[in-house]
Amino acid sequence: MKLGLAMAVMFGSLCSSVPLLAHHSFAAEYDSRKTITVHGVVQKVAWVNPHAYVWVDVKDENGKVVTYAFESLSPNALMRGGWTRNSLKAGDEVTVDGYLAKDGKALADGSIHANSKLITMADGRKVFVGSSGDTADPTK
């Protein structure tokens, strides 16, 4: 699986000549040095513009559930990647690699604000791949 992940990352770099996250500057909002990997359960998916969002409930070491809100690509870009609004559903178990927001402020609903680089489902399928996080450059 590690090789698969490496290839997926390589693939992301091949695609990097086109800024999939076109709506705003990645570096103005997220910190490419604050990488996170969380494992949890999808609470809900918002198939909305300018970015789809995926909320993931994660249990911390004390068993307390915290919710992350992961920004993804826009629905039109996800659809051209072959995903649909049904590719990821509430209740799905996922591992998310991503980046935290620079300002550290929660979204209005209290969830931790982050950008998803890669979402891997329990069976190994990768969905919503290709966020600008793949090409995050802290200087740009």
Partner 1 sequence: MKKHYLVLAVIALALATLATAQDPGGKFGPVGPGPATQRKGTAPQGPTPKMPDGKPDFSGVWSPTNFFAMGQPSLTPWADALYKERRANLSKDDPEGNCLPAGVPRISPFPMKLVQTPTLVIMLEEGNVHSYRQFFLDGRGHAKDLDPLWMGDSVAKWDGDTLIVDTIGFNDKTWLNGQGLPHSDQLHVIERYQRPDLGHLSVDITLDDPKALTKPHSFNRAYSLLTDWEIHEYVCNEFNVDAEHLVGK
The letter for the amino acid at 13 is S
CB 94 within 8 A of CB 39: yes
Q: Is 67 exposed, middle or buried (0-12, 13-18, 19+ CB in 10 A)?
A: middle
86 binds partner 1 (CB under 8 A): no
Of residues 7-46, those binding partner 1 (CB under 8 A): 7-8, 10-12, 14-15, 17-20, 22-25, 27-29, 46
CB 14 within 8 A of CB 120: no
Diameter of the chain by CA atoms? Answer: 42
CB 65 to partner 1: min, Å: 22
For partner 1, the closer CB: 18 or 91: 18
Q: Which of 61, 64, 82, 86 binds partner 1 (CB under 8 A)?
A: 82
Q: Which of 35, 130, 133, 136 binds partner 1 (CB under 8 A)?
A: 130
Contacts 24+ apart (CB under 8 A), 116-119: 116/54, 116/70, 116/71, 116/72, 118/5, 118/8, 119/54, 119/70, 119/72, 119/88, 119/94, 119/95
For partner 1, the closer CB: 59 or 104: 104
80 binds partner 1 (CB under 8 A): yes
Residues that bind partner 1 (CB under 8 A): 1, 3-4, 7-8, 10-12, 14-15, 17-20, 22-25, 27-29, 46, 48-51, 53, 71, 74-77, 79-83, 87, 101-103, 105, 107-108, 113, 124, 126, 129-130, 140
